[in-house]
Structure 1
């Protein structure tokens, strides 16, 4: 029991180190089951509004509810089976957006944990925002499918996973898609940590239809993201913590230029975090050179991902079609606060501001510059997570 409590305490500390968003959840209740059967219920109600007016990322609003009940069968102290259904409902729509049945088998022994089937990526595997966008957990892809292995010890933790996102059959006219990832922390001392994070996103397949021409000559390609960092925690007392971190990011890809315009690039990412009880404040600086993120926040990309769906004098507004910002420079400020309303019920509020330092000019329509542009977002959530013995 003492060893188990030590591991749980360590995980909570590492979770506080890696938290990038108020919406994150460790969802670790399944590890505390003492009966043969159990019912875990997860519910997240959220609003996330992005007021973005830059040339790279669209502004939009996510608002809705997730309901995720799971039946657990604990075959032994080390093995458990789970079956459930993940349901997503968007506010303002009468239909249910997603209904996803989930199945998984989990084996845990000491510091090791292995899962095959579906797993819940409620804290984005502890990754930073340029590697995995925090809004992923507000969509149905918070449910991942494949394999996951975790190891936790005092000096080293790692979360590795294979998420199979798109299954293909013979003669399908689309590609198979999967993501391979790893998120590790090397704990040199109690206060000094070296994180390493890696993502590979693969698109390809051998049995699907392939169309080869001058514009599309690559049928199988990958995009790799690597982040190597260092973190140091300063503690003034038990109620106040400062965490300073730096990451060097790198990407490489063999994708065609129509998919990603830069074959390789890099970025520097600095973060200063202040924690005081339920309050978390982050100040970040990001500077990139032709950097492309596979699944990170669109704001960190070096080319536009905006939707071209507006018209000027009857003509489609396509000024973002080939717009690039190879040298992107941003300042981020984020504050989030959460409070326990009742047992297993949390409410949280998040505010974020984004300030662009690099020059950014589109010349097709307004010849407007986005240097010194300020974007912002805000969000609110109410989360319930509990485990019931059956």
Structure 2
């Protein structure tokens, strides 16, 4: 006989599997003949040079409409729904063939709140030198850094879309470098506000071919500093560091499909605390959809901007102080992207996960419509 809690878990599991089976069948049966990405590229917002004539003005628009639902009932991460949109119209002006200025306004609206959630001016000066781009002002943040989920959560695209500071980026073929400084909060003399400075680096090396595989070295690091010299605060000075080292193996098949395996060792250092984690991913993709599995094992791990589920310290409302020494998760990722045009993209993402420590199944879903003019 099943006990009451066991029966409840069994029913939840059964219903969840039916739901998952339906979603997978839906994705496999879609026959819209459009080009589909299998990563976050279509949701990235880049300050690209558009080849406008020097001295002429061009209008730009970056917008995202989103709904993200987290069905979480665990002790680490909150369950909630984010639904809304943001829009960033701007004017671009090239003062030189290597220098671009862009100014605009950023407006964010979340449904369920009166008025606007956020409204800010935006301003970026960009200098281009061959395959390098140097940005000053509003930089290309959140998912544009291409960091792994334990270090930078995908949800920063929705709840922290703007970053301000300095950035150097390099992109050529499969090589990628992004180094940045995001100045999040400054000090005011005599006040209690600590300055918050976030710096990081994300590097994907040139690939080398070994038989039928492409191999890449992967390096990432995130540093958050909290402090200040001219304030009256009892809060301690803190510096949190999260380095990550990884290796990518990629095997291409006929029909433009491929399997990619990424494996990372991730660290956490904040004197005198330290922790670590292992993040292993396998993705299969073709032109229409992507199916991936991610395994996370974290031990005394904390990353201030990482996915809430992967942290040892609880970020759940009214659950401060709850701590799990180890987190042991298997995450499934189902992604379907539609490129309706070069400027309009839709992305459907379904991410169920299993918590081995608590024998718990939960899931999240998201739908995103991006427009870039």
Instruction: State the TM-score bracket (shorter-chain normalisation).
Output: 0.7 to 0.9
In structure 2, relative to structure 1, the CA distance for the partners of 1:111 and 1:43 (3 Å cut) is same
1:142 aligns to what SS in structure 2?
Answer: coil
Q: Could you tell me how far apart the structure 2 residues matched to 1:122 and 1:173 are?
A: 27
Residue in 1 that maps onto 2:293: 283
Query: In the alignment, is the contact (CA less than 8 A) between 1:199 and 1:294 conserved in 2?
Result: no
Note the C-alpha offset of 1:303: 1.9
Q: Which residue of 1 aligns with 2:238?
A: 221
Cα deviation, residue 203, structure 1: 0.5
Residue in structure 1 matched with residue 262 of structure 2 by the alignment:
245
Cα offset, 1:38, TM superposition = 1.1
Distance 1:294 1:241 in 2: 33
Note the alpha carbon deviations across 1:95-152, whole angstroms, 9 max, x for none: 011001011211001022111111232534011111101000112x221111001123
Q: Please say if residues 44 and 144 of structure 2, whose CA atoms lie closer than 8 Å, have aligned partners that are also in contact.
A: no
1:200 to 223, 227, 230: 223
- Counterparts of 1:282-301 in structure 2, within 5 Å, are 282-301=292-311
Pick from 12, 29, 51 the counterpart of residue 33 of structure 1: 51
**Residues 354 and 120 of structure 1, relative CA distance in 2, 3 Å threshold:** same
For residues 336 and 157 of structure 1, the distance between their equivalents in structure 2, rounded to whole angstroms, comes to: 23
Match of 2:96 in 1: 76
Q: Within 5 Å, which residues of 2 pair with 1:375-386?
A: 375-386=362-373
Residue 206 of structure 2 is matched in structure 1 by 187
Q: Which residue of 2 aligns with 1:315?
A: none
User: SS of 1:248's equivalent?
Assistant: strand
From 63, 66, 80, the equivalent of 1:46 is 66
Shift of 1:305: 1.5
Contact 1:292 1:301 in 2 (8 A): yes
Secondary structure in 2 matching 1:54: coil
After superposition, residues 124-203 of structure 1 pair within 5 angstroms as: 124-139=144-159, 141-153=160-172, 156-189=175-208, 191-203=214-226
What is the CA deviation profile of residues 193-238 of structure 1, one whole-angstrom value per residue up to 9, with x for unaligned ones? Answer: 1110000001001111122xxxx5x2x1110001100011111124
CA distance in 1, matches of 2:288, 2:232: 52
Instruction: Work out the CA distance in 1 between the residues paired with 2:337 and 2:170.
Output: 29
TM-score norm. by structure 1 comes to 0.81
How far apart are 1:153 and its partner, in Å? 4.0
Residue of structure 2 in register with 1:373 after alignment: 360
Determine which of 87, 110, 135 is the counterpart of 1:115.
Answer: 135
Q: Give, in angstroms, the shift of residue 346 of structure 1.
A: 1.3
- The alpha-carbon deviation at position 323 of structure 1 amounts to 2.0
- Equivalent in the alignment of 2:340: 341
Say which of 264, 268, 271 aligns to 2:278: 268
Aligned-partner Cα distance in 1 for 2:95–2:135? 15
For the Cα contact (< 8 Å) 1:302–1:326, is it kept in 2?
A: yes
| CA deviations over 1:71-98 (Å, ceiling 9, x no partner) | 1110111001111111100112330110
Equivalent residue of 2:226, what SS? strand
Q: Secondary structure at the match of 1:138?
A: helix
Structure 1 counterpart SS, 2:326: coil
Q: Secondary structure at the match of 1:113?
A: strand
Structure 1 counterpart of 2:77, from 57, 60, 80:
57
| Unpaired runs of at least 5, structure 1 | 1-15, 255-261, 309-319, 359-370
Change (3 A) 1:380 1:155: closer
1:26: how far off? Answer: 2.9
SS at match of 2:208: coil
1:224–1:294 CA contact under 8 A, matched in 2: no
Residues 45 and 65 of structure 1 are in contact (CA less than 8 Å); yes or no, is this contact kept in structure 2?
Answer: yes
Q: Which residue of 2 aligns with 1:316?
A: none
Q: What's the TM-score, normalizing by structure 2?
A: 0.85
Distance 2:247 2:307 in 1: 21
Equivalence for 1:364 = none
Q: Contact 2:49/2:100 (CA < 8 Å) preserved in 1? A: no
In structure 2, which of residues 77, 88, 110 is the aligned counterpart of residue 90 of structure 1? 110
CA-based RMSD of the aligned residues comes to 1.8
Contact residue 243 and residue 272 of structure 1 kept, 8 A: yes
